[in-house]
Each structure stands twice: as structure tokens, then as C-alpha cells.
Structure 1
């Protein structure tokens, strides 16, 4: 099992969210990379975010973003060794 390019793009979008507040969303502009626009649309269709171009995280999206950010932190915790 491995991540697809689409999965990685979705994870990258989820990583853009500031989890310290639920009052801050994101906006993926129409001039952004096509993969990022497509990832945001996919996350919206799956119920992770509130707008096709970003918006806020849903409860499901917040949980996914927390996991993505936690995994990133774990993988990079000892990168200097």
C-alpha cells in the first residue's frame, strides 16, 4: 500500500490548516497549482472541508488534519540524527 499523488496533495492541503483555532479557514486561489485545486475539491466532496476552495475544516477534516500534522511531526522529530 502506498499513497497516490492525489492522496499526498490532499494531505498537503490538510496541513495548511492552523489547528490552534477553529475560526481560521483557508482559501485555495484559482491561480494555485492544479493539483492543490483538485485536492481541495476532493476534500470538499469527501466532507473534510466546507468549501470547494478551502473554507473551514469539518469535524472529520479536523481529525484528519490532526493525524496528518501529528504524523509529520513524528516523522521529522529525529531528522537531525
Structure 2
């Protein structure tokens, strides 16, 4: 499955969340770049975050971010 620029933006946002604290969210201001604003809105529509401008990860968002961050740790290991 190819990774589109839109999906890449969503992945980038999901990596910003601190998975060690469920009480730590993010807020994307309207002054942020349009790609980031659109990505967080798509994550909200998909049910991964609690607010259209960020907020906290939902249970589904936590699950997704955990798998994503694990995959990135594996892939970023030196060979």
C-alpha cells in the first residue's frame, strides 16, 4: 500500500502524541499549515482524536498510534 501525502500528514500528527500519558493531548491552531489542519480534521472524522482541532486520542486512536509508533521504532533501527 503506497503512502499518500495525506496519509503521511496523518501519520506525522499521530507521532506527536505522548502515549505515556492519556491526559496529554495536542491542539492544532488555525494558523498552522493547511496540511496539518486538514490532517487533524481527517483524524477527527475517522474517530482517532476527540476534537476537530486535536484534543486527545480516542481508544481507537491510542490503538492506532501504538501500532504506528511501534512500526516506526522497528523501521528506524540501524541495520
1:14 corresponds in structure 2 to 14
Q: What is the TM-score when the length of structure 1 is the normalising length?
A: 0.93
List gaps (5 residues or longer) in structure 2: none
Alignment of 1:1-81 (within 5 A): 1-78=1-78, 81=79
Q: CA deviation at 1:66?
A: 0.7
Residue ranges of structure 1 left out of the alignment (5+ in a row): none
Q: How far apart are residue 31 of structure 1 and its match? A: 1.2
TM-score norm. by structure 2 comes to 0.95
**Count of residues in correspondence between the two structures:** 79
Q: Any runs of at least 4 consecutive aligned residues in structure 1 with deviations exceeding 6 A, and if so which?
A: none
Counterpart of 1:50 in 2: which secondary structure? strand
